[in-house]
Structure 1
């Protein structure tokens, strides 16, 4: 049979392919409905930037914790078993947000996200190789690319819901705007949103401004420092109420909004779980497949493979760069340009759209440019755009930060493919190491949060200076691209 006639998805795998592909949207939703919570929890719980990064530490720490156990579980049992366990953990974590919101308990939210990502680790570790196995090896890559195209559908849905249900409706944002607006009207600290020529379709709908009497009294008594101390003073009872709510009532109101999308997706995941339980999925493993793990021998081979080890390191820093860039777009827009959270989230959505478009463009270029060389080119572009975000003091700096996503679009799969090139059967456990590399989203966001809490960094503001960490990550990725090309030359 000619290669062009080989089916991407054989007919007898079609239903299974559709069901498993739905999982890609589910974990995309969870990833991108969670990113804005770093900024939301900072204000709602009145904590530092470093403390608020526990959101990402828990989220990506769950991946790191469960990646290897998930790979071992799937090798010992089956793909279907891995999917069922993953969906159960996903639903459990999502639904724990209900008591966390009711009790205004930050720690319980962190536990909920940690458990939720246990499920995501199982789903990602299972779905990718299962899709690859659903048909001829010749079309495996095309099959996986088709399934992965549905991941951004979930991501964009998560971003949109975060912007419309959470960021545009939380009362703590109204409180901050009231304090900032009234302080600015008295020329105490004019930190109200400035004119940036932001397109109207990106701007959040303005809310009617009626200053709360308690806020007016507070600003009048505190003066210039009012916007800086207002949230803590409201929490401490120095502002009695805002729009008839105590701080505790406002906090619970906002956390119910946070819990809404998690409650909804938890219910959806339970429905999907039932569907998988009652559906017979094909066993794609060879009849003589070895289900023993042989962990020691496999690990030794992987750890003595410099191309693989370098790939895990590069993937760690790539995930760190991606999460730092997308998580702190909101803080950059707020702190440097005075833009409200809801409008800032629209720039996050723009970044994701650019990310998706660039993925197709970069995939086309792979026909003509070696993956390792393309990785170096994309890293250089990402460094240039990040420098623009640091040093351009206008709305153009924010657009430059958004454009970093164009360069990140193909980095994860490119590093993934380079690292597993030539490892053979060791790829099943080797892929777990690359999923474990998501731990980069844990410690790098924590470092950036600590920098954001400083007054300044590297000769500029703390917010802008924190993105030097992102540049460090892209430098390491560029080095791996260079070294990987050398490893391949030696192997030939």
Structure 2
């Protein structure tokens, strides 16, 4: 609970801008993958390092980020996260100028490290700004603007990053020195310009937050007795980490193979371009669901809504596997709507009654995001050895676990 009377609306408005920004930045990864693949003539595995570096940063940096937040508080953690992310963004400038893929990956890792600290600090802070009964509702509302960012990001990326024509090595060898220099400058600018704008935006938001009087909350003050406590004795928290792992893994896995799924002759037989347009429905559904979920949770307990949504998704996936065809396509696209409330709800339930350990607990929860790097690989194994349709049983298992967590696993042992 806050230690002093404050205007929550103003604070939540500022924090909402953060959620929007990191949603926008994260979604640009989907644009960078095909751009860098074409630019450096990479294999699919080499191009996949873009996403791997992003999720690996969450795994490596989440626990240290939790320690930083526990020691310095939410506000300082948010500001540091913004500035580290800004450093990652500005490093895209020399990466593009030098045409260095390793430097791009390093820049991305630094950027993701900043976003990790930002998320570790902001999620429990939003959770603490108000009544515990409406914590999941608040987090869903702010996360809805994260989804708005993920919807707008690809549009911005396609207008700038993917607007540049990438020439093959043989085509470049046919250019004169002057033409080659001009081509490199144009191609570099396509990446440099949007990330320079993002750098400026991140720094501006950091400055605004620095001069803003954000309310302090009791849970961000670490005491001597807190340090001696262990996070791992809190069963509902550890199960929540597994829940975050399962959810992010399932979401990323479905998103990774959704276009291929819709292209399959057994499903819809769409072209890549048409399937990409349908993908907007998947992410748009997630955005709408979070806005709606933030209000529904004021009437229905978050754990019950989580269980209901997880069961619905499992049924949608199973029906898509069994019936395939047009029904299969629309069933999987509908998952975005029911996915919407899961991450913030699992996060909020896992932080319940964590008190002064909330900062470190948030770091531990964010480590679960590494599921986005692991679950898709498991599904790929089944897709390669059996069939793409059959491989969607992997996320079914993930959602069944989430349903159980919402039904029983979320309860703190002393409740």
TM-score by length of 1: 0.70
1:475 pairs, out of 377, 400, 411, with 400
CA shift at 1:383, angstroms?
2.6
1:281 pairs, out of 203, 210, 213, with 213
Whether 1:318 aligns to 2:247 is yes
Tell me the equivalent position of 1:51: 46
Q: Is 1:76–1:291's contact at 8 Å kept on the other side of the alignment? A: no
Partner Cα distance (2:97, 2:52) in 1: 23
Alpha-carbon deviations, 1:260-310, whole Å to 9, x = none? 432321122122233334x14345145994455844x332xx323332221
Partner Cα distance (2:390, 2:165) in 1: 30
Whether 1:91 aligns to 2:22 is no
Tell me the equivalent position of 1:425: 356
Aligned residues: 408
CA shift at 1:450, angstroms?
6.4
Partner Cα distance (2:333, 2:56) in 1: 25
1:377 pairs, out of 308, 313, 326, with 308
Partner Cα distance (2:48, 2:234) in 1: 34
Larger relative contact order (CA 8 Å, sep ≥ 6):
2
Q: Is 1:95–1:266's contact at 8 Å kept on the other side of the alignment? A: yes
Tell me the equivalent position of 1:62: 57
1:171 pairs, out of 162, 165, 168, with 165
- SS of residue paired to 1:150: helix
Q: Is 2:53–2:109's contact at 8 Å kept on the other side of the alignment? A: yes
Cα gap change, 1:450/1:36 in structure 2, threshold over 3 Å: closer, same or farther? farther
- SS of residue paired to 1:421: coil
Cα gap change, 1:40/1:478 in structure 2, threshold over 3 Å: closer, same or farther? farther
> How do 1:26-45 residues align onto structure 2 when only pairs under 5 Å count?
26-45=21-40
Tell me the equivalent position of 2:201: 268
> Which one has the largest radius of gyration?
1
CA shift at 1:137, angstroms?
6.3
Partner Cα distance (1:135, 1:306) in 2: 25
Q: Is 1:38–1:327's contact at 8 Å kept on the other side of the alignment? A: no
Partner Cα distance (2:74, 2:133) in 1: 21
- SS of residue paired to 1:414: helix
- SS of residue paired to 1:171: coil
CA shift at 1:395, angstroms?
5.5
Tell me the equivalent position of 2:190: 257
- SS of residue paired to 2:42: coil
Partner Cα distance (1:56, 1:104) in 2: 19
- SS of residue paired to 2:28: helix
Q: Is 1:57–1:446's contact at 8 Å kept on the other side of the alignment? A: no
Whether 1:457 aligns to 2:385 is yes
Cα gap change, 1:287/1:37 in structure 2, threshold over 3 Å: closer, same or farther? closer
Partner Cα distance (2:196, 2:15) in 1: 22
CA shift at 1:368, angstroms?
6.5
- SS of residue paired to 1:35: helix
Partner Cα distance (1:350, 1:431) in 2: 30
Partner Cα distance (1:83, 1:384) in 2: 39
Partner Cα distance (1:12, 1:371) in 2: 25
Whether 1:484 aligns to 2:409 is yes
CA shift at 1:319, angstroms?
0.7
Tell me the equivalent position of 2:156: 161
Partner Cα distance (1:314, 1:366) in 2: 19
Partner Cα distance (2:318, 2:366) in 1: 29
Cα gap change, 1:274/1:483 in structure 2, threshold over 3 Å: closer, same or farther? closer
Which of the pair is proportionally richer in helix? 2
Segments of 5+ residues of structure 1 without an aligned counterpart are 1-8, 176-233
- SS of residue paired to 1:284: coil
Cα gap change, 1:421/1:377 in structure 2, threshold over 3 Å: closer, same or farther? same
> How do 1:132-281 residues align onto structure 2 when only pairs under 5 Å count?
132-134=127-129, 143-167=138-162, 169-171=163-165, 235=169, 237=170, 256-277=189-210, 279-281=211-213
Q: Is 2:61–2:116's contact at 8 Å kept on the other side of the alignment? A: yes
Cα gap change, 1:371/1:451 in structure 2, threshold over 3 Å: closer, same or farther? same
1:101 pairs, out of 96, 99, 112, with 96
CA shift at 1:56, angstroms?
1.6
Cα gap change, 1:379/1:56 in structure 2, threshold over 3 Å: closer, same or farther? same
Q: Is 2:69–2:76's contact at 8 Å kept on the other side of the alignment? A: yes
Q: Is 1:91–1:266's contact at 8 Å kept on the other side of the alignment? A: yes
Higher mean C-alpha displacement, 468-477 vs 366-375: 366-375
